[in-house]
C-alpha cells in the first residue's frame, strides 16, 4: 500500500470516488469521476419544512403518505334553475298568446269596441264556437260580458249566417235591447250572408253596415216535414203509434200530414211570421205594412237592401268598428276587443272529431226532428 497515496486514510481504509475527488487528486478537476458501483445512491432530500413523500410503489415506508382527497362534485343546480326558467317562460308566453287571441288585454283602456261573432246556423243552447253553429247562450253571454265591462263603449256584431231558430234570434234580441238600455250602442257588420234569423238579429241593432254583395233579407218562416212512408213500406218497416191526441204525431216521418195538420201548420207559420215582421218594423223604424211588402222570403243584395231600408250603410268590418266607436263617444283609434272569436284554444284544448260529434248530437233534435223544422 502506498502511504503517500491520497486515496488511503489514516486507518488504511480505501476512500470512495467522491472522497478521492475531495482529497485533491491532480486530475480531480479535469477528470470525470465514476461512482463506486457499490456505493449507495444518494437520495434527494426534501425542501426544508416539507414532509417526506413515499414513492408510489412503497406507500408509508419511512415517509408520510398524503391523504387522497376525492374531487368535489359539481352542482347541477344552475342547470336545473335555467331549465325551469325556460319552461316558465314558454308556458307564460303560451298563455299570453291564448289570452290575446281570445280578445284579452292585460292593460285595457277605456276606449274599446267589443266584437261578437255570429257565424253559422243559429240555435238555442250552447255549442263550442267555431263549429258552424251560433248558439244563443254563447252570444248572449258574450253580450252580457261586454256590457259589464266598463271599458267597452260599443258593440259590433259580425254576422255571417243564413239563419236558423227563431227562438235563438229572439233570445239574442233580448240581450241587444238590454245593452242599448245600458247605454251601449250595438252595430251590425254583415259578411257574406245575414239572412232570415240572422237578419232578425241585425234588425234590432242601432246601425247595419253591409257590403253591396251581401245576401240579406229572407224575412219569413219555414216549417219542413219529411214523409218517408214509401221507404218504410219498401223496406218492410211497420209502425204502431199510440198517441193521446190527434196532432201528437204530427210531422212523424212514418206518414204524411193530414189536411187538418196542414191547416194547423199554416196557422203556426202565420203567427211566427207576424212576430218576425213586427220585430223588423220596430227595429228598422218601419210600418208593419212596409215590412210585409218586402217580407216574402226573398233574398236581397246589399244594394237592394239599402234601397228598401233593410240596411243603413255600405262598408266593411272596420268601417263598422269606426261607426260604433263614434256612436260610443270614443275619440281617436278604438281598441278592438274580440269577445268570442274562435281562437287557438280550440286547437290546443279541443279535438275536432270530438267537437264535431258534440255538435252533431246537439243539433240533431233540430236538423232531424220527427216533428219538422220550424225556422226563420
Task: Tell me, yes or no, if 79 is annotated catalytic.
Answer: no
Measure Cα distances from 242 to 156, 233, 239, 347 in Å: 50, 19, 10, 47
* Cα gap 348→128, rounded to integer Å: 14
Among residues 225, 266, 264, the alpha carbon closest in space to that of 245 is found at: 264
Task: Tell me, yes or no, if 248 is annotated catalytic.
Answer: yes
* Strand 207-210 with 152-161, pairing: unpaired
* Strand 299-300 with 335-338, pairing: unpaired
* Cα gap 173→249, rounded to integer Å: 32
For residue 61, give the C-alpha cell.
415506508
Q: How many CA atoms within 13 Å lie on the side-chain side of 200?
A: 30
Residue 175 sits at the vertex; the CA angle it makes with 355 and 185, to the nearest 5 degrees, is 115
Greatest Cα-to-Cα distance within the chain, rounded to the nearest angstrom: 164
DSSP 62-92: SSBPPPPPPPPPPP-HHHHHHHHHHHHHHHH
Choose, from 129, 142, 189, 196, the residue flagged as catalytic.
Answer: 196
Total length of the chain: 376
What is the number of other CB atoms lying within 10 angstroms of the CB of residue 276?
24
Task: Give the residue carrying C-alpha cell 265591462.
Answer: 149
Choose, from 61, 79, 243, 248, the residue flagged as catalytic.
Answer: 248
Q: Which of the residues are catalytic?
A: 196, 248
Amino acid at each position: 500500500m502506498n502511504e503517500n497515496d491520497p486515496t488511503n486514510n489514516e486507518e488504511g481504509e480505501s476512500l470512495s470516488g467522491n472522497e478521492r475527488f475531495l482529497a485533491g487528486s491532480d486530475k480531480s478537476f479535469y477528470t470525470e469521476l465514476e461512482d463506486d458501483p457499490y456505493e449507495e445512491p444518494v437520495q434527494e432530500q426534501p425542501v426544508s419544512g416539507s414532509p417526506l413523500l413515499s414513492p408510489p410503489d412503497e406507500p408509508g415506508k419511512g415517509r408520510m403518505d398524503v391523504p387522497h382527497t376525492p374531487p368535489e362534485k359539481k352542482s347541477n343546480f344552475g342547470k336545473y334553475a335555467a331549465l325551469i326558467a325556460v319552461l316558465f317562460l314558454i308556458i307564460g308566453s303560451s298563455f299570453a298568446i291564448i289570452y290575446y287571441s281570445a280578445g284579452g288585454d292585460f292593460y285595457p283602456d277605456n276606449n274599446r269596441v267589443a266584437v261578437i261573432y255570429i257565424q253559422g246556423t243559429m240555435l238555442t243552447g250552447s255549442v263550442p264556437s267555431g263549429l258552424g253553429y251560433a248558439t244563443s247562450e254563447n252570444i248572449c253571454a258574450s253580450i252580457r260580458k261586454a256590457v259589464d265591462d266598463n271599458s267597452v263603449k260599443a258593440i259590433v256584431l259580425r254576422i255571417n249566417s243564413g239563419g236558423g231558430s227563431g227562438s235563438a234570434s229572439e233570445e239574442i234580441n233580448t240581450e241587444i235591447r238590454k245593452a242599448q238600455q245600458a247605454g251601449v250602442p250595438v252595430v251590425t257588420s254583415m259578411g257574406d250572408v245575414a239572412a232570415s234569423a240572422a237578419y232578425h238579429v241585425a234588425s234590432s241593432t242601432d246601425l247595419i253596415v253591409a257590403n253591396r254583395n251581401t245576401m240579406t233579407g229572407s224575412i219569413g218562416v219555414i216549417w219542413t216535414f219529411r214523409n218517408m212512408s214509401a221507404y218504410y213500406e219498401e223496406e218492410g218497416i211497420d209502425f204502431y203509434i199510440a198517441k193521446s191526441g190527434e196532432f201528437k204525431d204530427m210531422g212523424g216521418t212514418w206518414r204524411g200530414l193530414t189536411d187538418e195538420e196542414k191547416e194547423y201548420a199554416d196557422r203556426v207559420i202565420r203567427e211566427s211570421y207576424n212576430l218576425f215582421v213586427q220585430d223588423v218594423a220596430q227595429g228598422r223604424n218601419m210600418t208593419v205594412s212596409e215590412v210585409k211588402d218586402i217580407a216574402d222570403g226573398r233574398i236581397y243584395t246589399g244594394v237592394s237592401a239599402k234601397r228598401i231600408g233593410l240596411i243603413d250603410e255600405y262598408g266593411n268590418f272596420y268601417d263598422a268598428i269606426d261607426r260604433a266607436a263614434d256612436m260610443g263617444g270614443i275619440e281617436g283609434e278604438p281598441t278592438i276587443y274580440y269577445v268570442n272569436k274562435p281562437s287557438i284554444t280550440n286547437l290546443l284544448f279541443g279535438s275536432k272529431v270530438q267537437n264535431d260529434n258534440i255538435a252533431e248530437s246537439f243539433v240533431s233534435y233540430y236538423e232531424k226532428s220527427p216533428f219538422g223544422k220550424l225556422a226563420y
